Amino acid sequence: MRTVSWKNGKIVLIDQTRLPNSFELIETDDLNRVATAIRRLEVRGAPAIGVTAAYAMALAARQSQAREPRAVSADLQKARDLLAAPRPTATNLFWALDHMLAFAGERLENGSDGLAEAMLAEAQKMADEDVAINQRLAEIGSELIPDGARVLTHCNCGPLCAVDLGTAMAPVIYAHSQGKKVHVYTDETRPRLQGAKLNAWELAQAGVPYTLITDNTAAWVMSQHKVDLVMIGVDRVAANGDTAAKIGVYGVAVLAHYHHIPFYAISPTSTIDMNIPGGSQIPIEERDPDEVRKVNDTWITMPDANVVNYAFDVTPHELITAIVTEFGIARPPYRPAFESMLRA
Active-site annotation, residues? 235
Amino acid at 31: L
Distance set, CA 108 to CA 73, 79, 124, 232 (Å): 8, 16, 20, 40
Beta strands (DSSP E) in 194-254 are 210-213, 229-233, 236-238, 243-246
Give the integer Cα–Cα distance in Å for 238 and 274.
6
279: DSSP letter: G
Strand 243-246 to 210-213 pairing? unpaired
Give the integer Cα–Cα distance in Å for 90 and 133.
18
Nearest partner of 31 among 53, 2, 46, judged by Cα: 53
Nearby residues of 5 by Cβ (< 8 Å), 6 or more positions away: 11, 12, 127
**How many residues make up the chain in this entry?**
344
Amino acid at 297: D
Helix (H), strand (E) at residue 184:
strand 182-187
- Residue 153: burial class (beta carbons within 10 Å; 0-12, 13-18, 19+): buried
Give the integer Cα–Cα distance in Å for 4 and 78.
22
Give the integer Cα–Cα distance in Å for 267 and 340.
16
Give the integer Cα–Cα distance in Å for 119 and 56.
10
